[in-house]
Structure 1
């Protein structure tokens, strides 16, 4: 395979058909630059409507909107996986807004159960993002967030759903803690990944056969490619936010190929690494074929 025929993937990107360009346009732009696969995740409710939502049915309307937008992207020929969940930031924002703690808990648990039902029925390909905040929060919010995470692992195990996790990146803790939770609930390590991992978390996760996604910015990728010994259990993400306010905050999906090819040309990564991360690993985790 020559350099011109290398193909690329994005394992974590956000689409927004209301305030952004939407999944289909993202997919078109990515496919035009040798993209073959993308995983789309929904946004917090306020990214669609500028307001907080704490009604289960209203939240599920946004999930359905997200699913329809994901489906439109498949018309481009790009392989697409559609994930939805409740971002941990939504939990503390509802609490800050003044909603009683028990009502936040009740809303979140009922909503995530309904979203898992969609995955069980084959309407969604997976759940995400869910997880824990990576910043200081109230103790009651931390307890709720952990309960949602533990319930999600149980649902994922029972229903066979993949999960994309939003977590803190604490060396010596995060991977061990999440691997322990998976063991306790019986969730296999090929059913979840830690999104937006640091290089140290990637290395720890690889040792535990835990999947991670790593942000596709050139400085970070150069460091990652030159430090990890093999590309097992690693995926690349843009973490693209599809809104005028934050668009391209990390990078764009359609920029990922150029970033990686520039590192290949400079000798900072091998073609084997790029093929493994962008094709083989994607096929393994997402159960999709190129």
Structure 2
């Protein structure tokens, strides 16, 4: 391990032992100086799961739990995040009516919330399509997102959202209606202008100015671990490597790094992030 003497946390990463490099990617993260990761479930079809009921998402969650256990053997601290990718609605409506697809996704989120309640996952994942869809699909997706926010409130956990590029200011209003603090709604692949908690891609040119201005944010790679798309979105070493770069060039201080990688995610997710 090439340690930086501070925790280094990837707020959104996928590790796939079926279709990607699996634990070898986690080892790369660790050797580069990474210490903690929030392991996010991949879409169901990534694991050859094609649900027709929400309960079948349990198969995806169990696969992710086994992956988390394998990653921990490398020395990385893993926090699983379970949920239903918003793009599932497109796949589901190929084989069932929209109303049924909405019910399946909501049930999948119900199952994910059970894992949070059992302390097997630390947060939920939901969102809405980041690509153009018709009004009916958009409205259904927002109802699914509202359901996820309600579940996050009821279970007392954070919610990561995958959504369109931009601030998603209306989601802050949805969070307020659900009674969940907006700081516990994380905008994955976020931008500094969001009222939600931004998780910024590690290579983002905004990071130095965001740190210097005191903006509260986390860092992510959104590494997909798919051999058909190697290095997408950026590689597993990215968060520790960019953190080292920003520290060495003085773009942010060690105090900034502690805030980004330990204090903020610990507060947002209700977990402990320390160096062992």
User: Structure 1 stretch 54-63 or stretch 191-200: which is displaced more?
Assistant: 54-63
Residue 19 (structure 2) pairs with residue 26 (structure 1): no
**Structure 1 residues 119-134: aligned runs within 5 Å:** 119-128=116-125, 130-134=126-130
In the alignment, the residues of structure 2 paired with residue 139 and residue 79 of structure 1 have an alpha-carbon distance, to the nearest angstrom, of 41
* Aligned counterpart, 1:154: 150
CA shift for structure 1 position 232 = 4.2
Aligned residue in 2 for 1:273: 256
| TM-score, reference length from structure 1 | 0.85
- Given the alignment of the two structures, is residue 170 of structure 1 paired with residue 141 of structure 2, yes or no? no
Alignment size in residue pairs: 271
Partners of 1:31 and 1:261 in 2: how far apart?
A: 14
The structural deviation recorded for 1:154 is 1.0
2:67 is aligned with 1:83: no
Gaps of 5+ in 2: none
Which residue of 2 is the match for residue 142 of structure 1? 138
User: What root-mean-square deviation, in Å, do the aligned CA atoms of Structure 1 and Structure 2 show?
Assistant: 2.1
Instruction: Return the offset for 1:146.
Output: 0.8
Alignment partners' CA distance in 1, 2:153 and 2:206: 34
Query: Could you state the TM-score of these two structures normalised by the residue count of structure 2?
Result: 0.89
Following the alignment from structure 2 to structure 1, what is the Cα–Cα distance between the partners of residues 86 and 4?
Answer: 40
Structure 1 partner of 2:115 = 118
> For residue 237 of structure 2, what is the aligned residue in structure 1?
254
The alpha-carbon deviation at position 105 of structure 1 amounts to 1.6
Distance in 1 (CA, whole Å) between partners of 2:182 and 2:58 is 28
Structure 1 gap segments, 5+ residues each: none
How far off its partner does 1:6 sit? 4.2
Verify: 1:282 aligned to 2:272, yes or no: no
Deviation at 1:4, TM superposition (A): 4.6
The residue aligned with 1:213 is 199
